[in-house]
Amino acid sequence: MHSFLLATAVPATLSWSPKVAGVMIACNILAIAFGKFTIKQQSVGTPMPSSNFFGGFGLGAVLGTASFGHILGAGVILGLANMGVL
């Protein structure tokens, strides 16, 4: 009985597909663009190797924007899957 209650309490997760990957990539690009316009000191801290590939961001800015993008992407993917779009 206990395992049945746990199984019904957890929502079904979405399996990976190119649509899911596209949503995650779009959310990360949106987060990086948001960070580019809002982070005041983008290159403070440890520099990234070949910083021109990272938009001049330092390590902290890259980790922050990528983390925000993944959190945003997970929420958008779960929301779209719940609505039946994905």
Q: Where are the alpha helices (DSSP H) in 1-86?
A: 2-9, 18-38, 59-83
Top pLDDT among 15 and 73 is at 73
Domain limits at 45? Answer: 30-86
Task: From 39, 15, 29, 33, select the one nearest 70 (Cα to Cα).
Answer: 29
Domain-embedded: residue 14: no
Domain-embedded: residue 51: yes
Distance (Å, whole) CA 25 – CA 19? 10
Total domains in the chain come to 1
Amino acid at 24: M
Using one digit for the tens of pLDDT, what is the confidence trace for 7-52? Answer: 666 666 788 899 999 999 999 999 989 988 988 887 777 877 876 7
The whole-model pTM stands at: 0.78
Domain-embedded: residue 17: no
Q: Which residue do the tokens 């005041």 mark?
A: 40
Residue 86 · residue 14 · CB < 8 Å? yes
Per-residue confidence (pLDDT) for residue 52, from 0 to 100: 72
Domain-embedded: residue 15: no
Using one digit for the tens of pLDDT, what is the confidence trace for 41-69? Answer: 877 778 778 767 777 788 888 899 999 99
